Amino acid sequence: MATYTQDVNQPYQTLEYQKFVTLGGSEYPAITAVKTTILDNGTEVSLSSIYPKTAVLTYLTNADAISVSLSASNINVNLTDVETLLNAVTAKLDQQLGQAGVVAIEGTSSAFGTFTTFQTLTTTKIAAITATNSSGTSVITNYELLQGFSFSAPIQGVTLSYGAALLYK
Residue ranges of the domains in the chain? Answer: 2-56, 102-168
Supply the pLDDT for residue 15: 47
Supply the pLDDT for residue 163: 94
With CA atoms as reference, report the closest residue to 78 among 60, 92, 64, 59. 64
d(CA 66, CA 78): 7
10 Å CB burial of residue 118 (0-12, 13-18, 19+) is buried
d(CA 65, CA 117): 32
More confident residue, 101 or 125: 125
Supply the pLDDT for residue 38: 79
d(CA 51, CA 23): 11
Neighbours of 126 (CB within 10 A): 22
Q: Give the mean model confidence (pLDDT) for residues 46-52.
A: 75
More confident residue, 49 or 112: 112
Q: What is the pLDDT of residues 54-99, one digit of tens each?
A: 776 666 677 777 776 666 676 677 788 888 888 877 776 666 667 7
- pLDDT greater than 80 at residue 103: yes
Supply the pLDDT for residue 141: 84
- Phi then psi for residue 73, to 5 deg, are -110, -10
- pLDDT greater than 90 at residue 107: yes
d(CA 30, CA 8): 10
